[in-house]
Structure 1
Amino acid sequence: MSNLEYILSITIVVYLSGTLRTLLPDSLLSLIQHGTYVLFFLLLLARPKLSFACLLSNKVLLILVSLPIISSFWSEMPLASLKSGIIVVQTASVGFFLSYRYTLKEQIKIFAIAATIIGIINILYLVGYPDLAFHTDIEHSGALRGVYSQKNELAQVAVFSSLVFFVLNRNTSGKSRTITNIFSLTGFFLWMLLLFITDSKTGLLVFFFVLFIYTAAKVMRFRGYGFVLSVILGMLTITSLTLILFSNADEKIGFLGRDLTLTGRTNIWNATISMISQRPLLGYGRDAFWNLNTSIPYQIGLSLDSRATYMPPHSHNGFIDLTAELGLIGLLIFLFILIQSFFIAVQTVQSSNNTEYLWLVSYITFFILYNLTESSILKHNSLLWVTFVMVACSCQFVKRKKYLERCAK
Structure 2
Amino acid sequence: MSLFNRSNKIAVFVIFFLYFLFSIHATNVPLTSLFFKIQYVMNILFILIGIIVLFKTKTKINLVLFLVVFYLIFSSFLFNQYNTNFQLFNIIIDLFSYTIIGIILGQTVNFERIVNVLFYYFLLLAVLCILNAIFFPQMGKELSGEWRGVLYQKNALANVMVFGLIINYIYLLTKSTIKRSYRLCLGYTSLFTMFFLIVMTESATGLMVGISLSLAFFIFVLFYKIKNMNLKLVLISLTSILIIFLILTLLENEGRVFEFLGKDSNLTGRNVIFEYVKSIIKDHLFLGIGYSGIPNSYLLNSNETYQAIGFHVYYAHNGFLEILFQIGIVGILMYLYFYFTISKILLFEIDNIVKVFVLLFFVYNILYNLSEVTFLTGEGNNFQWFVMCLLITYYSRFKSIK
TM normalised by structure 2 equals 0.82
Question: 2:111 is matched with which residue?
Answer: 104
Deviation readout 1:380-405 (Å, 9 max, x if unpaired): 3522222222223223333443xx2x
| Partner Cα separation in structure 1 for residue 65 and residue 240 of structure 2 | 26
The residue identity in structure 2 corresponding to 1:279 is H
- Is 1:31 aligned with 2:40? no
Q: Could you tell me whether the CA contact under 8 Å between 1:96 and 1:390 is conserved in 2?
A: yes
Question: 1:160 is matched with which residue?
Answer: 163
- Is 1:286 aligned with 2:286? no
- Return the match for 2:74 from 70, 74, 83: 70
Question: 2:369 is matched with which residue?
Answer: 371
Root-mean-square deviation (Å): 3.4
Once the two structures are aligned, what percentage of the paired residues are identical?
20
Question: 2:19 is matched with which residue?
Answer: 12
Do the aligned partners of residues 324 and 40 (structure 1) sit closer, same or farther apart at CA in structure 2, a change above 3 Å counting? same
The residue identity in structure 1 corresponding to 2:29 is L
For structure 2, list consecutive stretches of 5 or more residues without a partner in the other structure: none
Deviation for aligned residue 1:118: 0.9
Question: 1:389 is matched with which residue?
Answer: 389
Deviation for aligned residue 1:136: 2.9
The residue identity in structure 1 corresponding to 2:189 is T
Matches within 5 A, 1:259-270: 259-262=263-266, 263-270=268-275
| Partner Cα separation in structure 2 for residue 223 and residue 59 of structure 1 | 39
- Is 1:149 aligned with 2:156? no
- Residue 311 of structure 1: SS of its match in structure 2? coil
Matches within 5 A, 1:48-63: 48-49=54-55, 52-55=58-61, 58-63=62-67
Deviation for aligned residue 1:179: 2.6
Matches within 5 A, 1:5-404: 5-19=12-26, 21-49=27-55, 52-55=58-61, 58-72=62-76, 74-77=78-81, 80=85, 82-83=88-89, 84-137=91-144, 142-173=145-176, 176-221=179-224, 222=227, 231=236, 251-253=255-257, 256-262=260-266, 263-287=268-292, 290-291=296-297, 297-304=302-309, 309-342=310-343, 344-348=344-348, 351-352=349-350, 354-381=352-379, 382-401=382-401, 404=402
The size of the alignment, in residue pairs, is 380
Deviation readout 1:38-85 (Å, 9 max, x if unpaired): 332243234335764341xx2212222222211145314275574223
| Partner Cα separation in structure 2 for residue 238 and residue 59 of structure 1 | 37
Q: Compare the two structures and name the one with the higher helix fraction.
A: 2
Q: Could you tell me whether the CA contact under 8 Å between 2:111 and 2:354 is conserved in 1?
A: yes
The residue identity in structure 1 corresponding to 2:104 is F
The residue identity in structure 2 corresponding to 1:383 is F
Do the aligned partners of residues 257 and 284 (structure 1) sit closer, same or farther apart at CA in structure 2, a change above 3 Å counting? closer
Q: Could you tell me whether the CA contact under 8 Å between 1:250 and 1:260 is conserved in 2?
A: no
| Partner Cα separation in structure 2 for residue 132 and residue 79 of structure 1 | 29
The residue identity in structure 1 corresponding to 2:130 is I
Do the aligned partners of residues 102 and 236 (structure 1) sit closer, same or farther apart at CA in structure 2, a change above 3 Å counting? farther
| Partner Cα separation in structure 2 for residue 131 and residue 380 of structure 1 | 25
| Partner Cα separation in structure 2 for residue 278 and residue 207 of structure 1 | 36
For structure 1, list consecutive stretches of 5 or more residues without a partner in the other structure: 405-409
Do the aligned partners of residues 45 and 312 (structure 1) sit closer, same or farther apart at CA in structure 2, a change above 3 Å counting? closer
| Partner Cα separation in structure 2 for residue 372 and residue 115 of structure 1 | 24
Q: Could you tell me whether the CA contact under 8 Å between 1:318 and 1:374 is conserved in 2?
A: yes
Q: Could you tell me whether the CA contact under 8 Å between 1:272 and 1:300 is conserved in 2?
A: no
TM normalised by structure 1 equals 0.81
| Partner Cα separation in structure 1 for residue 262 and residue 196 of structure 2 | 19
The residue identity in structure 1 corresponding to 2:335 is F
- Residue 377 of structure 1: SS of its match in structure 2? coil
Deviation readout 1:166-203 (Å, 9 max, x if unpaired): 22012235653233222222211111111122222211
Do the aligned partners of residues 46 and 292 (structure 1) sit closer, same or farther apart at CA in structure 2, a change above 3 Å counting? closer
Q: Could you tell me whether the CA contact under 8 Å between 2:168 and 2:187 is conserved in 1?
A: yes
